[in-house]
Amino acid sequence: MNLINISLIAVIILSIVMTIVYGLPLIEQIKNKKVNKIQMFAVCLFICTIISGTIILHCIK
């Protein structure tokens, strides 16, 4: 039970950090109208990881 809580926190923190790391340069690219599609895909993937990881670990709990 305690391991699940730690896993839930780890998934959320890691996903938020990676979203920020990839997301901030993406915002600048959108302002300059030069969007890197791979970077946009990575941001979407990390956001989906936050959502799905939270739901899965919450259901296990």
Nearest to 13 by CA among 24, 1, 21: 21
Mean pLDDT (the chain) is 77
The pLDDT assigned to 1 comes to 58
> 61 falls in which pLDDT band (50, 70, 90)?
low
Token pair 């998934």 is found at: 11
Task: Give the predicted TM-score (pTM) of the model.
Answer: 0.55
> In the chain, what are the domain boundaries?
2-60
Q: DSSP of 15-60, one letter per residue?
A: HHHHHHHHHHHHHHHHHTT---HHHHHHHHHHHHHHHHHHHHHHHH
Q: Are 57 and 6 in contact (CB under 8 A)?
A: no
